[in-house]
Chain A
Amino acid sequence: MKIKSLSLLLIIMFSIVLSACGNRTTTDDGRTIVEFMHSSVEQERLAVINKLVAKFEKENPDIKIKQVPVEEGNYNTKVVTLARSGNLPAVIEVGNDYAKVMEKDELIDRKSVNKVLDQVGKENFYEGAIDLLRTENGKSYSGVPISGWVQGIWYNKEMLKAKGMEEPKNWEEIMGVAKEFTDKGSKKYGIAIPTVEGPFSEQGFSQFALSNNANVFNNNGDLMLNTPEMNEALTYYKKLSQYTMPGSNDTTEIKDAFMNGTVPMAMYSTYILPSVFEEGDANNIGYIVPEQEQKAVFGMVSALTISSGLEANQKEASEKFVSFMSEPENTTDWVLMSPGGAQPVNKQVTDNPDYQSNEVVKAFGNLSTEIAASFNDIQAFGLVGGKNYLKMGDVTSSGAIPTLINNITVGKSGIKSELKKAEKTIKDALEKR
């Protein structure tokens, strides 16, 4: 009897605790709660977001924004665990690649996102940037773009000038400059390119592959990895890797090599610019996009998305909040949390006087405009003919492309055999879907 009573008490308390773990939708004074998950955990960034939230709450006294800042390294893991426990925040900052994962599991309220995009005006965003957020059918979007970054080849103008060399434009010229500067005995190399068995290699290589019209899928969504174009791009990348630092090069190695003058060219994102500015070298950096058959820029877009399954009042409040954050002056504040690194994806932000007068943006002069314009040349593996294939997420998760790059560059393996292996890994991953 006693044991029964004790068990009953334990079960009751247990149920109370578990049910208390759920989300509240309104505050005690009746305001609608909108949880906002983002990756800005640093004090200075939080201060900017707090200011924006305070401004929004003043304009909308019936809504309470509850921030959920999560450190970048744990971000995706947190999305998965919160989603699974049914506690996914209403508004989430998400990268275009992870938006695909959320889209696949129907975690995004497409209708709400499109409603906000219609209010904000799709035409205000750079085409390449908003395309990255297109859904698989090409008719809808998985988020409202707020900022982005692009990747390309950065070069040291003075180093090139000292050797009497011009800015390289295409594959052949890039190879020429890289060869000229390589002196392995003195630990000097021509170009820093990613060779690590990680996402950076897939991103870096994709620029060369896509500039040679080699994508992972064709228009019908069929796997097209083993093609003459892809073979050609891999052969070029392998040859170019002779002029890069030995071993697996990831972001740290590449940034260090460029900043300390080991290489005159480096493949990196715009997040190299804040360090260049700090070194007082803003006038000495140039930006090129590898070109063969066409120009291909790799970029990522950060967007605000609205999660599915919200109650009507939360949904409406979330739409209002995302719409507010997408107003040019508010997005400008967001982008300027990391000036130089985060780039505007909304043309109205690029034209905003506050953005243009920022000291970092000003220091890079025309380069800032050149970078902003390059958003129109963004291409990505899995984005074909306006369709953004969700299964590309599985290809990336399989790690097949980074392993292929690492094996042919660092491991010196043959392209044909490694390409076959990668194709098999991807096919297996796609079959498991």
Chain B
Amino acid sequence: MKTTIKKGKTDFKLAMVLLFPSLFLLLLLVAYPMFSNIQISFFHLPINPRLDSTFIGLENYINILSDIEFLKSLGLTVLYTALAVGGSTVLGLLVAIFFNRPFMFRKTARSLIILSYVTPSISLIFAWKYMFNNSYGIVNFLGGDVFHLFKQAPLWFDNPVSSFILVVIFAIWRYFPYAFISFLAILQTIDSSLYEAAEIDGASAWQKFKIVTLPAIMPVLITVITLRSIWLFYMFTDVYLLTNKVDILGIYLYKTAFAFNDLGQAASISVILFIILFIVIIAARKRVNFNGNG
């Protein structure tokens, strides 16, 4: 008994020593900014640190939660995230299933698929802006001058509805390769005998997918959806550079923090966003367990 306790103590010491660098970095890079952010959210903070900050309690939170623009922005972000995550995951899965078989130039085709994911955002955004340019974009040229689909060229990024549809399509196209790579990796681990057995039992393609594929890919599916939801919920660059007609939360936050230099209010927005996302993720993970029996 004595020996066991002694051994436990030694392990603890060693564990602490080994954990120290990670704990230190976590405190420095994650915990300190996080607590600082929470603290700032209760203040009216001038940019100049030599001027006095004013403690205003929950005023920043009340202002944000009663701002109709924030609520509109939140609704828009939820819709954007849901459509883009759903679209990119489904497209990634379909392409991965299609590519999970031998064919000529398979490696080259796989490399080409991930192009949109590995190309820098700024190049893609400018390419899209030129494609949909009102005067000389190829989309209006083909639709109007070549195929005569419309008489007057639509102002793609000037209309809130078409702008929203385009930023969602852009996100699906840009991020589906991430889902594709993840799903292809897990699909290759599924034993082909399971499909053969299902075929012998007379299962249709949909039944094979539902009974064999879906349970096998479920852990990856959950991870892909969770991570992509977090990333898209906080999206800023893609949408901000493509159009100014879609004010998702990332843009609302940026405008508050840097256009009006209201750092306290911006900090309170980020705390609210964190709480919303935290609840959504926890609820989603409880609803669907990793064994695919959700």
Which A residues are within 8 Å of any B CB, using their own CB? Answer: 2, 6, 9-10, 13-14, 17-18, 76-77, 80, 83-86, 101, 105-107, 187, 196-198, 245-248, 252-253, 256-257, 262, 308-309, 394, 397, 399, 410-411, 429, 432
Contacts and interface: CB of A to CB of B under 8 A. Distances in A.
A425 to B, nearest CB: 11
Interface in B100-142: 129, 133-136
A30 to B, nearest CB: 27
B47 A83 contact: yes
Interface residues of B, number: 35
Contact of A410 (B51, B133, B158): B158
B20 interface: yes
Contacts of A309: 50
Interface of B: 12-13, 16, 20, 23-24, 27-28, 32, 45-51, 129, 133-136, 153, 155, 157-158, 244-245, 255, 257-263
Given A10-B27, A84-B263, A107 B48 contact: yes
B104 to A, nearest CB: 42
B27 A14 contact: yes
Contacts of A6: 16, 20, 23
Closest 7 A-B residue pairs measured CB to CB?
A247-B134, A105-B47, A105-B48, A247-B155, A397-B259, A83-B47, A245-B135
A196 B133 CA distance: 13
Contacts of A10: 20, 23-24, 27
A105 B51 contact: yes
6 contacts: A2-B13, A9-B20, A14-B32, A80-B258, A246-B153, A252-B129
A309 B49 CA distance: 10
B153 A80 contact: no
Nearest to A433: B260
Contact of A253 (B20, B135, B262): B135
Contacts of B47: 80, 83-84, 101, 105, 107
B259 A77 contact: no
A187 B135 contact: yes
A399 B28 contact: no
Contacts of B136: 187, 256
B157 A247 contact: yes
Nearest to A187: B135
A35 to B, nearest CB: 16
A72 to B, nearest CB: 14
Contacts of A411: 158
B264 to A, nearest CB: 11
B23 to A, nearest CB: 6
